Structure 1
Amino acid sequence: MRSDAVKKGIERAPHRSLFKSMGFIDEELERPLIGIVVAKSEIVPGHIHLDKVAKAVADGVRLAGGTPIEFPVIGVCDGIAMGHEGMRYSLVTRELIADSIECMVMAHAFDAVVYVPNCDKIIPGMLMAAARLNVPSVFVSGGPMLAGRHSNAQGTRAVSLTTMFEAVGAVGAGKMSEEELDQLENEACPGCGSCSGMFTANSMNCVTEALGMGLPGNGTIPAVYAERIRLAKQAGMQVLKVLKENLKPRDIMTKTAFRNALALDMALGCSTNTALHLPAIAHEAGVELTLDMLNEVSAVTPNLCRLAPVSATHIEDLYAAGGVQAVLKELASKKLIDINARTVYGTLKDAIAKAYNRNPQVIRPADNPYSATGGLVALRGNLAPDGCIVKKSAVAPNMLKHSGPARVFDKEEDAFSAIMEGRIKAGDVVVIRYEGPRGGPGMKEMLAPTAALAGRGLDDKVALITDGRFSGATKGAAIGHVSPEAAEGGPIGLLKEGDIIQIDIEGGTLSVQLSDAELAQRRAQWKPLPPKVTHGYLARYARQVSSAASGAIFKE
C-alpha cells in the first residue's frame, strides 16, 4: 500500500508517533489510509453541511475496513462573490484546489481518496486533482439545494438564486417593489446545498456521474435528504473496493467517458462553464477535448431537459423524474453514449439498469426532445477565431439569429450601470471585454448584467458577448469565452461603439461586420489596457493562464 511509506518498518517509528499523537491506534494504522478531502466552510451554502457528509463517508470507510482521515480545501461562493472584486477570485481557485490536494495526498501517502465537493470551482478542481494524482478515488457531493417558494398576487412559484438577481433588474425597471424584493430575499434560498437550478455546481455534479467518478444519485439527491447521507456512506465503502481492484481515475476518465459526459451535458442543457472545466479535467487525464469535439457531440445529441434558469423546473424535479440515470437511459436508447464505459461501481450499464423516466415533462423522451441538438454550442467567426460558447437551450428563439450595434464596455461594472440606467435598448449587443482569464484577471462571471437584462424584460431583445464567462444561472443570448481574449489582442478588443455584430447560433458563427483590412488596421493601432492587478496571486495567475478555448489551464 502507498501508505506503507509513512507507517511500516522500524524507520517509520517517528511517523507512527505522530499518528499516535492524534489518537490513532495500531489497528487503524494497519488498515488502508483513506483521505477524505472536504470543502466544508461556513461561507458557502453548498458547503455548510459538508461536515455531516464527510462524517458519513468516514463511517462507510470504517465499515469497509479502512481508516478515514479528513483534510480541507478552500472554496469560493460564486453568488456572494458576484458583481464585485471578489469574482476575480472564483475561477482562479480551481488550480489552487487541484494543487493543494496534490500536495496533501502525495505528502501523506494516502492509499485512496474520497472527494466531497459542492459548488462551482471545487468540483472541477477536485476532478483535476483526481486525474492528475491517479490514486483510487470516489466522488460524493453535498447535493443540490431545494428550490424556494414565493407567493404574490399571481400565485405561488418556485424560485432560486436566479430569481434574486433578476429581481434586482425588475426593481430598477419599476416592475417589482422593494417590499417584494425583501420577501424574495428570505425565500429564494431555503437551506443548504448547491443552488437549485441547472447552474454550474449541479451541472458538474451531474457530469461527474457520466464521467464514472460518482455513484448514481451524486448529482441530484437533494442536500437535505437522508438519502444523501446514505450515498456518502456507500461512497466510503466503495472506495475500499476501488482500492482493492486498483481501479484508478485515468482507467475511468477516458476519451469515451468524456464523450459520455459531453452527451449528458447536451441533454441536460448544462452551464456554459462545463465547456471551460471539462477540457481542463481532460487535460489532467491525458485526453484532448476541444470545442470542435463539443460541437460534434452537440450536433447528434438531443436536448431533453430545460431546468432553471430557463424554466420553473429545478434539480429536485430532475431527481424525482429519475435523475441522471434516467437521462442516460434515454441517450442509451439512441446509442448516444457508451454504456460499457467503466465507473467506480461497474459500468454505466449498471447505473441505468433499473432507471426509468418517471416524468416525461421534466425529462423529454429521446423521441420527443426540446431540440434535436444539444444545449451548448461553440461559435466561431472573425470575432472569435478560437471559439466561444453559448447555452443555446437558454436563448429565446428570436435571438438565435441576431444583428445589432455593439455597446462596448471594458469592464463588467460599467455595463451593469448602463443596463440599470436604461441606456441599453432593444436590438443592442452588449460587449464586455478585458474580463477574460488574463485580462480580468480571473474571468469573472457576468450574472449581474445578464440577470439585470432579464429583470428589465430585455433578455429576448439584447445579446451580450464577453471574453469573460457566465454563471450557470444566466439565460438569454449570452455568449462567453470569446477567444482570443482582448488582453491577448483578440478581435473583441478591436471593437468600437456601433460596430454591427452578427450572431448566428444555429449556423455556429459570431462575427463583426468589418473587412479583414479594417480589422488589420485596427490591430496595428491597438494597445492593450494596463493590467488591472499587478501583485499577488491574481497577477501570477494572469501570467500563467492560457486561453479559455483550452480550458483556462496553466501554460506548460
Structure 2
Amino acid sequence: MSDRPRGMRKGLAGYGDAGFSLFLRKAFIKAMGYSDDALDRPIIGITNTFSGFNACHRNVPDMIEAIKRGVMLAGGLPVEFPVISMHEAFTHPTSMYVRNLMAMDVEEMIRAQPMDAVVLIGGCDKTVPALLMGAASADVPAILTVTGPMITGSHKGERLGACTDCRRLWGQHRAGEIDAAEIEEISGKLAPGPGTCMVMGTASTMALVSEAMGMMLPGGATIPAVHADRMRHAEATGARAVAIAAEDLRPRQIMTEASMRNALRVLQAVGGSTNGVVHLAAIAGRLGFDLDLEDLDRLGAETPVLVDLKPSGQHYMEDLFRAGGLVTVLREIVDLIARDCLTVTGRSLGAEIDAQPASWSQDTVRPLSDPIHSGGGIRLLRGNLAPNGAIIKQAAATPALLRHTGRAVVFTSLADMAERLDDPDLDVTADDVLVLQNAGPKGAPGMPEAGYIPIPRKLAAQGVRDMVRLSDARMSGTAFGAIVLHISPEAAAGGPLGLVRDGDRIALDVEAGTLSLLVEEEELRTRRKNWTPPAHVHAERGYAKLYFDEVLQAEDGCDFNFLRAVPRKPEA
C-alpha cells in the first residue's frame, strides 16, 4: 500500500487548513448517519448510472445494493455517486456526442471525491467506454461491471432480440411485408426486460473486450441482466474493489498495449461491433498510445469469427453465457493472446483462463477448425476515398458485394437522405453505391449510427436486402450489410468523401483492403477548390463549442484532443 492519503483524508477541499478541511468533511458526512468506525474504512465509490430514460440500466439499483454488500463484507465503506447516464435511443443528437462529456464527468468526480477505489457500472453502448476513458485518465484503482444482456423475446414462435431483429423486421415493414399494427405489436417484444441488446452489438462487444483487457472479474460480460449470477458477480466486484484499493492496483497497470491487443483479438473473434474500434482507440489515447489500425487488420486475418451470434450468426448473448462466456472463446484463441497480461483480479489472464471450469460441448462458440467466418470480422480499408482509413464488418456483409464497383448516389446530409431516400423518382438501382456525407464527428455532429443507410423503399419492395453503402458515420453493432464506415477524414473536415458527386464510380475491394473514387485527380482538385465546410461545424458557447473545437477523427476515437495523454499537434 502506498503512503498517500486514504479515505476521508484524500483530496481535501482547499480551506487553507488541512485539519479544518478534514473536520468539516467529517461533520458533513456524519449528516448521512455514518459512524467514526465506518469513516475509518477504505472508501469505495460506486458510479450510479441509473436513469428513468435508460432501460439498459434498469437493474443498476439492485446491482448497487449487491456491490455495497460485497464492499461491506470485505471491510470497506461503499458510497454511491451519480454520473451521466445515457441511452442510445434517448440521446439527441446521438450518445456519441455526449460520450466524452460522460468521460469527463467520471474522471473529475473520481478525482474530486475521496475514494480509495471505484466500481464502474456500465451497460448501454457508450457508457462502458466513457467509464474506462475517465478511469484511465484519473488512474485511481477501478473495477468494471456491466448490467448484462437482456433475455430474448418472441413473436409468433420466432425468437427475437434487440436490435438486429429490430432492423430486420423494420426493413420488412418498409418493404410492405409487415403492416403498421403488427410492427407496433413487435415493438413490445423486442426488448422484454432490463439489460443491453442481446446480440453482438456495441454493448456486448464492449463488455467482452473489457473483460478480455482485464478490467472486469471473469465471467461478467455475458451474465443476463435478470440472472441471479448478475447480483453475485456484482457482490464479488464490490469485495474485489476493497482489495484493489489496498493493493493500489491502477487501470494503467491493467490496460496496456498488450492487453489492448488482446481486446482487438477478441473483438475479431466474437464478430464484434465496429464501434468497438472507435472506443478502443479513445481508451488507448487516454493511456498514451495509439490504436494500430493495421494491427487490427493483421489480427483479423489471423483470427476467424468463432461466435455464432447475430448479426454475424444466429444465437444471442444468453446462449454465449450458457456456453461458458468469454473464457470459451479465449480457450480457442489461447495461442494467439498474451497470457501474461495483468487483470483486475491481481492474476494474469492466462491464470484466470486456466482457473475457470472446463469447457463443455456447445454450438455457440465454434472451434478454430470450423469458424463462422475467416479472414477477419472487421477489415481496414484505405484508398483515395479514405486516406486515414475506413472499416467494414465483412462478417455481417453479403459476400457478393465485398468486391463491387458501382455508381454513386449521394446524400449530402442526414436531412437530405431523410427527404429523398424513399422518393419514387430517386435515380437508384441495386448495383449503385449509396453515399452519405457530413455524418461524421463534426458533420452530423456526433458521428451517429446513420451508416446503416436504409435500402430505398422502392428497391426494398423489389426484394433488395443489401447494397454497398458508405459514409463517415458509425453503425450499430446490431446492424448488418455491405456497409463501409468511419471514412476519415470526414466530409465536414475536408475529406475526399465530401467531393463525391452523383454518378461517380466507386470501387470497393475488401480482400485488397481498398476503397477508391474513380475520378481523375485534376477533377478532384477542382472540386476541392470549390469546397466549403458546412455552416454548422462551429459553435459560440457551451459544450457544443468545446466539442467542435476539440473532437478528433475516428482513428483517434473521436475523443477530445486535450483529453488525450499526448494531444495531437495541430496541422500546419
TM-score, normalised with respect to structure 2: 0.91
Among 129, 145, 153, the alignment partner of 1:148 is 153
Task: Provide the rounded CA distance (Å) in 2 between the counterparts of 1:45 and 1:451.
Answer: 29
Task: Provide the rounded CA distance (Å) in 1 between the counterparts of 2:221 and 2:302.
Answer: 24
Deviation at residue 538 of structure 1 after TM alignment: 2.8
Deviation at residue 145 of structure 1 after TM alignment: 0.8
CA contact (8 A) 2:551 2:558 kept: yes
Deviation at residue 157 of structure 1 after TM alignment: 3.0
Deviation at residue 519 of structure 1 after TM alignment: 1.6
| SS in structure 1 of the partner of residue 45 of structure 2 | strand
CA offsets 1:48-107 (integer angstroms, 9 cap, x no match): 2211111111111111011011011223221344xxxx2x24112221111111221111
Aligned partner letter, 1:253: M
Deviation at residue 360 of structure 1 after TM alignment: 4.8
Among 45, 58, 73, the alignment partner of 1:35 is 45
Unmatched segments (≥5 aa) in structure 1: none
Deviation at residue 219 of structure 1 after TM alignment: 1.3
CA contact (8 A) 1:395 1:460 kept: no
Which residue of the partner structure matches residue 96 of structure 1?
101
Are residues 35 and 426 of structure 1, via their aligned partners in 2, closer, same or farther at CA, if it must alter by over 3 Å? same
Deviation at residue 309 of structure 1 after TM alignment: 2.3
Which residue of the partner structure matches residue 191 of structure 2?
189
Deviation at residue 355 of structure 1 after TM alignment: 4.6
Note the 1:383-398 alignment, pairs <5 A: 383-398=385-400
Which residue of the partner structure matches residue 369 of structure 2?
367
Deviation at residue 243 of structure 1 after TM alignment: 1.8
Deviation at residue 43 of structure 1 after TM alignment: 0.7
Aligned partner letter, 1:162: T
Aligned partner letter, 1:339: R
Which residue of the partner structure matches residue 544 of structure 1?
550
Which residue of the partner structure matches residue 410 of structure 2?
408
Which residue of the partner structure matches residue 54 of structure 2?
44
Aligned partner letter, 1:509: T
| SS in structure 2 of the partner of residue 61 of structure 1 | helix
Deviation at residue 172 of structure 1 after TM alignment: 2.4
Task: Provide the rounded CA distance (Å) in 2 between the counterparts of 1:43 and 1:447.
Answer: 24
| SS in structure 1 of the partner of residue 146 of structure 2 | coil
Which residue of the partner structure matches residue 181 of structure 2?
179
Deviation at residue 165 of structure 1 after TM alignment: 3.3
CA contact (8 A) 1:441 1:533 kept: no
Are residues 233 and 379 of structure 1, via their aligned partners in 2, closer, same or farther at CA, if it must alter by over 3 Å? same
Task: Provide the rounded CA distance (Å) in 2 between the counterparts of 1:384 and 1:270.
Answer: 22
Among 292, 298, 301, the alignment partner of 2:300 is 298
Are residues 464 and 169 of structure 1, via their aligned partners in 2, closer, same or farther at CA, if it must alter by over 3 Å? same
Which residue of the partner structure matches residue 526 of structure 2?
521
| SS in structure 1 of the partner of residue 207 of structure 2 | helix
Are residues 107 and 516 of structure 1, via their aligned partners in 2, closer, same or farther at CA, if it must alter by over 3 Å? same
Deviation at residue 259 of structure 1 after TM alignment: 0.5
CA offsets 1:164-203 (integer angstroms, 9 cap, x no match): 2333332222111223212211211101001111111111
Which residue of the partner structure matches residue 124 of structure 1?
129
Are residues 515 and 358 of structure 1, via their aligned partners in 2, closer, same or farther at CA, if it must alter by over 3 Å? farther
CA contact (8 A) 1:169 1:420 kept: no
CA contact (8 A) 1:407 1:428 kept: yes
Among 190, 208, 211, the alignment partner of 1:209 is 211
Which residue of the partner structure matches residue 353 of structure 2?
352
Deviation at residue 161 of structure 1 after TM alignment: 2.5
CA contact (8 A) 1:327 1:357 kept: no
Among 58, 62, 65, the alignment partner of 2:75 is 65
Deviation at residue 135 of structure 1 after TM alignment: 0.9
Deviation at residue 109 of structure 1 after TM alignment: 2.5
Establish whether residue 493 from structure 1 lines up as the match of residue 498 from structure 2: yes
Aligned length: 546
Task: Provide the rounded CA distance (Å) in 2 between the counterparts of 1:397 and 1:214.
Answer: 35
TM-score, normalised with respect to structure 1: 0.94
Note the 1:443-458 alignment, pairs <5 A: 443-446=447-450, 449-450=453-454
Between the aligned residues of both structures, percent identity stands at 38
Deviation at residue 447 of structure 1 after TM alignment: 6.4
Task: Provide the rounded CA distance (Å) in 2 between the counterparts of 1:449 and 1:291.
Answer: 24
Task: Provide the rounded CA distance (Å) in 2 between the counterparts of 1:435 and 1:42.
Answer: 29
Which residue of the partner structure matches residue 441 of structure 1?
445
Which residue of the partner structure matches residue 341 of structure 2?
341
